[in-house]
Amino acid sequence: MTNDRSTPVVEPVLSQDEDGPDHKHDWKYRTLTGMLGYLQLTSRPDISMATHQCARFNSSPKLCHKQAVRRICKYLLGTMDKGIIFKPDVSKSLKCHVDADFAGGWSSEDTTNPEAVLPYTGFVISYAGCPIYWGSRLQIEIALSTTKVEYIALSVAMCEVLPFLNLTEEMRNFLPVRDDEPKFFCKVWKDTRSCIKVAESPKFTP
């Protein structure tokens, strides 16, 4: 490891840095972020947010973006022996953990950029105790409260969960499953009480 920071994401999050210095050498930034994107989708969810931040600036990367990509690569180099260990537990069904970050990209140095206040959505979908799909992405609208941010994140995650529920139902036809489970279900974990109230109350439908 080149330093004592253990993750590839540190504050502040990346911005356009329009007045910042350009990188000196011509190199394939977009290609590299694409490779990192494939890696984070298949086996390294720990670099998802950092990779997403870098990929946002594929059209005109600055020196700070190049340094961020190098940091991810150094992190991967120092953690080549790490990965996902699958220990399936057949007693567990589909689960989803979802969270949001309200205006986490805002900084006093970039107050005129509306994208700086877009919230982040993060979720992990697991089956039998094993992660099978995850994501880290910006929400497409500016929300004015943490409740709305969390509810949007919950909605985005459920759009990913529903196809998995249908898939697991279809898999029952040709894979052995427990007889004491009458139906596949998904347990969703959320850490914001106000968002849970909105999701559970029929007054707020749809």
| pLDDT the model gives residue 6 | 66
Q: Are 93 and 184 in contact (CB under 8 A)?
A: yes
Whether pLDDT at 36 is above 90: yes
pLDDT, average across residues 106-128: 78
Is the pLDDT score of 35 beyond 90?
Answer: yes
Mean of all residue pLDDT scores within the chain: 80
Comparing 76-80, 119-123, 179-183, the range with the smallest average pLDDT is 179-183
Q: Averaging pLDDT over each range in 49-63, 78-92, 111-125, 164-178, which range is the top one?
A: 49-63
**Cis omega (within 30 of 0) on the bond before 206?**
yes
Asked if the model's pLDDT at residue 201 lies above 60, the reply is: yes
What pLDDT, in 10s, does the model give residues 68-84?
898 899 899 888 887 77
Instruction: Say what the pLDDT of residue 194 is.
Output: 84
The pLDDT of residue 34 is: 93
Higher pLDDT, residue 85 or 183: 85
Where is average pLDDT lowest: 13-22, 85-94, 158-167? 13-22
Maximum average pLDDT range among 3-7, 105-109, 160-164: 160-164
| pTM of full prediction above 0.75 | no
Would you state the pLDDT for residue 188?
A: 85
